[in-house]
Structure 1
């Protein structure tokens, strides 16, 4: 790092520590047909939305874990998303298109907790798209199983 870059970095860090502010981690980025073309959501943003719980079986867990998070439709509404399809991208670059109708037809959540424990990238977090699989027999189908995106990092609305 050059001397100038170190000075600039030090000045920025000093200003942040003096103000008591630190940049909050972005958990989810929405792009495409959303407000301003891009919306970044932090834990604070998600905390401002109504939280929901779903107890449901999955193809990758035992029993019926309880997932806690916010409705996907509420996230999309907050970003003023307009479109027919959401392309979900995970930290591991898994990508899948999900019809926007899924989020209005079912109470799909962006889960941040499973059985009361915060999800991390090691255990499918920090955000995992979870469908209420046990509440609707149609959801016990591989087409929907592929839409359970764990390690969700971005949504592109089109």
Structure 2
């Protein structure tokens, strides 16, 4: 009977704890390090709200149909941080890490998406920030090299 108690407690925690609480406006959603202003810039929801928001409908390899994503352009985030470099090392909550050429963000309207189909992204569903490429707008983007750059649960960018 004893092993059943931790299981039941865990089950209760899953159902009683909210899926994700929305980030406070001044809490950092993204941390940029490296070749950025002052060596470190924290981007809050308030910072993102001050930027121009965009929408993009595109297919993905992990969703059905063509979801509508809403967020800010990755190049705008880098500009806000005073980034100067050729590559970002993107890191997710689960420690997934990949190098992304900054030229991607200038060649394509790549989003730092915070919403999919009108719903705020949470860590349970690829949020709070998901790098989304305009896959359906450019044939070259339907390639595994670009698919690997769709970082969900994005938390940090190291500019080099």
After TM superposition, the structure 1 = structure 2 runs for residues 29-48 of structure 1, keeping only pairs within 5 Å, are: 29-48=31-50
Q: Which whole-Å deviations, capped at 9, do the CAs of 1:105-124 have from their partners, x for residues lacking one?
A: 00000000000000000000
Contact 2:25–2:44 (CA<8 Å) still a contact in 1?
A: no
1:113 and 1:101 map into 2 onto residues whose CA distance is 24
Q: Which moved more, 1:23-32 or 1:134-143?
A: 23-32
Deviating above 3 A after TM superposition, structure 1's stretches of 4 or more consecutive aligned residues are: none
Asked if residue 93 in structure 1 is aligned to residue 95 in structure 2, the reply is yes
Contact 2:25–2:46 (CA<8 Å) still a contact in 1?
A: no
Aligned residue number for residue 27 of structure 1: 29
Q: Which whole-Å deviations, capped at 9, do the CAs of 1:40-95 have from their partners, x for residues lacking one?
A: 01100000000000000000000000000000000000101000000000000000
Aligned residue number for residue 66 of structure 1: 68
Q: TM-score w.r.t. structure 2 length?
A: 0.84
Aligned residue number for residue 142 of structure 1: 144
Aligned residue number for residue 57 of structure 1: 59
Instruction: List alignment gaps of at least 5 residues for structure 1.
Output: 1-21
Query: Secondary structure of the equivalent of 1:76?
Result: helix
1:23 and 1:45 map into 2 onto residues whose CA distance is 8
Contact 2:91–2:154 (CA<8 Å) still a contact in 1?
A: yes
Q: 1:25 offset after TM fit, Å? A: 1.9
Aligned residue number for residue 104 of structure 1: 106
Within the candidate set 117, 120, 141, 2:119 is matched to: 117
Q: TM-score w.r.t. structure 1 length?
A: 0.85
1:138 and 1:24 map into 2 onto residues whose CA distance is 37
Q: 1:24 offset after TM fit, Å? A: 2.7
1:28 and 1:48 map into 2 onto residues whose CA distance is 15
Instruction: List alignment gaps of at least 5 residues for structure 2.
Output: 1-23
**Paired positions, count:** 137
